[in-house]
Each structure stands twice: as structure tokens, then as C-alpha cells.
Amino acid sequence: MIRIKEGKEKNLLRHHPWVFSGAMEEPLPAEASVQRVETSAGRFIAWGFYDPESHIQLRLASWDEKEVPDGAWWEKMTRLSVLRRKNFFVPSSDTNTFRLIHGEADFLPGVTADVYARTIRVIISARVAFQYRENVVSALFSMLKPDLLILNTDQAFCGIEHMKEVTEYYRNKDGQCELFTPDKSLDEIKIRESGIYYSFVPGSGQKSGFFCDQRENRIRASRYAKDAVVFDGCSYTGSFTLHALRAGAGSVDAFDISSDAVHRLLSNVHLNEELGVLPPGSSEKVSAAKGDIFEVLRSIPSGKYDLMILDPPKLAKTQKGLEEAKKGYKDLNRLAMSKIKSGGVLVTCSCSGSLSREDFRTVLAWSAKDAGVEVQVLETLGQAQDHPVRLSFPESEYLKVFILRVIK
């Protein structure tokens, strides 16, 4: 049993799942275990997973005193998470890639799962999730019968979670889930989102290989792309570029730090032009190059772009890095605001969970001041509906997107 220090229990009673070491009374258990968590007065709060090796030592899971979270609980919560996405399982849909499990927002600490057509990708970012990974895999296989499931520990969290970098492959063998080791590189798969096709090798690229969270935002941004000269910064494999081309952009200059991503972007443009998704000649409108976004923004000419899109990787990985990340976001947006045409539209994003929407908006205001421009907020957007925000867990609202008009 673990007791919470007086005055530290309020958020936990409101179902916030994270408890750090400073909030717990001594003595604490010596080993990882499921623990009953109480207030200092002995009132039940929740059942939680305690692990002294985790950077979040106590993760609350079940606020029902009668339901102790065990392996069966993990399978149940996995099934419920999938069922909440039932509206995505439509054979005739123009989208067959989406998120199945969104970590603590779906009550499953440290688990992210995405589906890509007949492939599922599971990413583990917490020790407790690795402990119960077989239960998650079992539930996903029994419900969805994928051809392939790839599970790996998140490299970004292995250090602070004291986990090894692990990748496991599971396949559908006569209807049963079988753990196996591939004897050759995996074949490319083709997926579609909003009618646009993407091809990639499962398990390659950043994180899960494709980001579903910007689905609706890509469509919203494309509404400003007709006849526009477009800048796509941190383009990755080209989702914003492809939407802009489909909407009739005059030209697109795309940049990414990864040369592999740049090649994949161009491949996806050609694929969609061949399939008739993009207008003829679309590939001739695209320039794609490798480059660091900060250096690229300093080097591009002023007044060239009608539409600029900034979708950088997470600049603040933890709360400790927040202040430095704010400086990065400010510099990034100041440069873009300085270079865009007067009256141009800037789509700017942050996927740093520790940076609140209010703080991001303040950063943008300071960027505008330093750039000497006026800015109008046209749209305020967030993550797609398959990445739900849990109100008792504000950190689950990690993606913030503003569409701005810059006036000089």
C-alpha cells in the first residue's frame, strides 16, 4: 500500500494518472508491483503500478476499488480502446490508417498503437507496459487478426525508463498470433488517408512510420493552397505537400532533416500522380531537399511564399526542456513570419505535450512582435479524434496547431 502526502492527492482524486516520488510517503516498496493507493488519512484513491526504476514511479490505473489491474484488465482496456474506434472500421472508407490506443488518454499507460491497413504498430514507452505487452498483443490479435504486428520500445524513453531497445514481430499464422524473426527485410505496404496513398516499410522511419494525428489539419491547411507558392518545413514523407498539390498549389518547396524522408516524399508524389489522385504534372511542381529547418528558414528569400507550414518534431521532450523549447519555437516562427508574403498564411504546429496551448499562443505573439508583423488567428486546431484528449489528463492534448495570417 502507498499513501500520498497530504495536499498532494487532489489531482489524483480527479483521476490524473501520474504520481511522482515527491508526492508519496515513505517507506515505499522495494520492487515493482501493483499497489493500493490511499490518501494520508487512509481513503482509497486508486490502484496503481509502482516501479522505482520508472521516471514516473507510480501510474494510477483503476479508480474502482473492486477492480485490481492485472493482465485481464490490460486485455479489457485494449479491447475497449479498439471498440471506441469502430467508426473507422469501414471497408469503403478513404482512410485505413488511424490510432488504436493513445496511451493514458485511453487508460493504458505507456502504450501507443496505430493500424496501417493490415499491419499494426505498437510502441511501448513505459516499463509497466512492456511487462504487460503480451496481453495487449493478444487482445489486438484476437479482435483484428492483422497480417503483421510490430512492437518496439520507444527509443526516446528507453534511457529514462531503464528499458532495452527491443523490437518484436508477430504474424498471423493460421489465425493464431505467432512471434517470429523476419529472415529478410519487410515488404512495403500501401496505406491511404483521406484518399491519398502512402507507401513505406513497416517499422521504418520516425516513431510509428506515419503520423495520423494531423489528418484533419492537412485538409484544413490545403484550403489555403489553391494557386499558392507553398513552403513545407519538416515535411517528413509529404502529407501536407500531397494535400496542397491535390488542392491545386502552384508549387511546393519541401524540406526535411532526413534524406530518406525526402526520397519517400517524392516517391509518394509520383505514386499519387500515377494513380490519378493528384493532377497531371504535380511531380514537376515539387522541389524536395534535405535541410535543418532553422538553417533553411534563414536562407530562403523573403516574400516568396503564400503558404508556409511548420510541423517540427517535439522540441520539449520533458518539462525540464520546456524553456529552451519555447526559445526554439519563437525563433522558428519569427523567421517564418519575417519571410512569408504580406497577407500570407502560416500553419504552425507544436507536438510538445509539456507546452500548453496558451503558452504556444504567447510564444507566437512574441514571435510576431520580434518579426515586426501583425498576426490574425484564422483557425485553432488540435489532434484528430482517434487521438482523444482525456480531461483529467491535460498532457494528452499534445498537438497544438494555429493557422495564422501574417500582415506586414
**Secondary structure of the chain as H, E, C letters:** CEEECCCCCHHHHCCCCEECHHHECCCCCCCCEEEEEECCCCCEEEEEEECCCCCCCEEEEECCCCCCCCHHHHHHHHHHHHHCCHHHCCCCCCCCEEEEEEHHHHCCCCEEEEEECCEEEEEECCHHHHHCHHHHHHHHHHHHCCCEEEEEECHHHHHHHCCCCCEEEEEEECCEEEEECCCCCCCCEEEEECCEEEEECCCCCCCCCCCCCCHHHHHHHHCCCCCCEEEEECCCCCHHHHHHHHCCCCEEEEEECCHHHHHHHHHHHHHHHHCCCCCCCHHHHEEEEECCHHHHHHHCCCCCCCEEEECCCCCCCCHHHHHHHHHHHHHHHHHHHHHCCCCCEEEEEECCCCCCHHHHHHHHHHHHHHHCCEEEEEEEECCCCCCCCCCCCHHHCCCEEEEEEEEC
Lowest mean pLDDT across 69-73, 86-90, 381-385: 86-90
pLDDT digits (tens, 9 = 90+) for 188-212: 999 999 999 999 887 765 555 678 8
Is residue 24 scored above 80 in pLDDT? Answer: yes
Task: Specify the CATH architecture of the domain 2-62.
Answer: Roll (2.30)
| Lowest mean pLDDT segment, chosen from 95-109, 309-323, 389-403 | 309-323
CA distance 306 to 253: 12
For residue 245 the three cell numbers come to: 498539390
Cell triple for 396: 494528452
Q: So what's the pLDDT on residue 207?
A: 54
Fold of 213-407: Rossmann fold (3.40.50)
Specify whether the CB–CB gap between 172 and 145 falls below 8 A: yes
Q: What pLDDT was estimated at residue 354? A: 85
Question: What is the mean pLDDT of the segment spanning 130-158?
Answer: 96
Q: What is the CATH number of domain 72-180?
A: 3.30.750.80
Angle at 243 (CA atoms; ends 239, 247), nearest 5 degrees: 170
pTM of the predicted model as reported, rounded to 2 decimal places: 0.93
Segments making up each domain of the chain, as ranges = 2-62, 72-180, 213-407
Instruction: Examine domains 2-62 and 72-180 and report if their fold is the same.
Output: no
> Which cell goes with 111?
502504450
**Per residue in 72-124, pLDDT tens?**
999 999 999 999 999 999 888 899 999 999 999 999 999 999 999 999 999 99
| Separation CA 37–CA 58 (nearest Å) | 9
For residue 210, the model assigns a pLDDT of 79
Q: What number is the average pLDDT over the span 375-397?
A: 96
**Grid coordinates 525526402 are at which residue?**
262
The closest of 118, 121, 132 to 99, measured between CA atoms, is 121
Residue-wise pLDDT for 212-253, tens only, equals 899 999 999 999 999 999 999 999 989 999 999 999 999 999
